[in-house]
Structure 1
Amino acid sequence: MYVEGTRDLMDVIRVHHKLPPKEKEKNLALIDERATTRYFPVYEKVLDDHGQDFLVGNQLTWADIQLIEAILMAEEKVSTVLDGFPLLQVFKARISNIPTIKKFLQPGSQRKPPPDEKLVATANRVFNRK
């Protein structure tokens, strides 16, 4: 259930680079609105109610990995998106400092940066999209 929720949020974020310029501002507002009113309040409450370091049980699960990726994706678009969520801020710091995750998040790692206009133009050209 937690993974599916983060996927829903990530879907809204993923389409951002594909949108025409006129739609991007609306999409940023939608990302901020959905993250701060629909998704992040739920995860904040789960962490508060559960009283553990992780979403499920007391060990790292796929749900935690999905949530940290959704948080990072949302912050790439709206830098202040976590401002009202102190438990998610602590969660992000804790998960980001797990040695293997910390290494993955370092510049030059396998984690891909968000697509920029040049990458989008290249992809559109390669796939014959307008």
Structure 2
Amino acid sequence: MSGKPRLTYLNGRGRMEPIRWLLAAAGVEFEEVYLETKEQYDKLIKDGFLLFQQVPLVEIDGMKMVQTRAIMSYIAGKYNLYGKDLKERALIDMYVEGISDLMQMILMFPFSPPDAKEKNLDSIKERATNRYFPVFEKVLKQHGQDFLVGNKFSWADVQLMEAILAVEEKVPTVLSGFPQLQVILLLNMVYSGARGQSQSDHLPMLCKSHFCGCNFSLTCCFLNLFLGV
């Protein structure tokens, strides 16, 4: 195995996508293994790789890590994206948790029954524009920096960028009333693009689809099987 982090998941976004975003923002190349059969999944369990019998699985620094939040905390800390002190870490955690609540709605959207999709999309738009995006618009304005926390790019900025692009993909005009978020999105995309330029084959799927027009769909049956969603 090379020294690159190795990501094992489905050939889709799901719960691995924020991990891809964080590694790309840190400028870290990674390898991916896509689960395509139940036999692959069963073998991971048999070999003791999946502590809670769920993916994502990330192999990094000799560890086989599971649970998205734990993986991301480790990556953020390792690559200096987790603030300079305990107070900044607390703020980053607070913002990440808030963004995660919105992302959970987006993650579950593909599983909406056909007759509920429009209603669920309206709920995503309503939550984004009335609950979550106004908070971050205000934070950025009051903070007076190009970043949510401190004076440098952090895990919180990465999560916010992913959330904005994910909502924009479904509601293209969602940022029309949020000038601070429009600016921060462009700045963060430039920053992440510069850090990830040397490893453009290892970018988040949403980032690829946003820039390249590629379509990446979740493998719904596998998500149901492996993630219990």
TM-score normalised by length of structure 1: 0.83
- Quick check: 1:17–1:115 contact (8 Å CA) kept in 2? no
The letter for the 2-side match of 1:123 is: F
Larger proportion of helix: 1
Structure 1 segments, 4+ long, off by >6 Å, are: none
Report the aligned-residue RMSD. Answer: 2.4
Q: Which has the larger radius of gyration?
A: 2
1:24 to 117, 127, 152: 117
Give SS of 2:164's match: helix
Tell me the equivalent position of 1:55: 148
The letter for the 1-side match of 2:169 is: E
**Unaligned stretches of 5+ residues in structure 2:** 1-93, 207-214
Tell me the equivalent position of 1:90: 183
* Structure 1 position 94, deviation (Å): 0.3
TM-score normalised by length of structure 2: 0.49
**Unaligned stretches of 5+ residues in structure 1:** none
Tell me the equivalent position of 2:222: 123
Q: Give deviations 1:24-75, integer Å, cap 9, x for gaps.
A: 1011100100000000000000000000010001101111111001111111
Tell me the equivalent position of 2:163: 70
Higher relative contact order (CA 8 A, sep 6+): 2
User: Which whole-Å CA distance do the structure 2 matches of 1:75 and 1:13 have between them?
Assistant: 11
* Structure 1 position 115, deviation (Å): 5.0
1:100 to 189, 192, 195: 195
* Structure 1 position 7, deviation (Å): 0.2
User: Which whole-Å CA distance do the structure 1 matches of 2:150 and 2:203 have between them?
Assistant: 29
Larger proportion of strand: 2
The letter for the 2-side match of 1:30 is: S
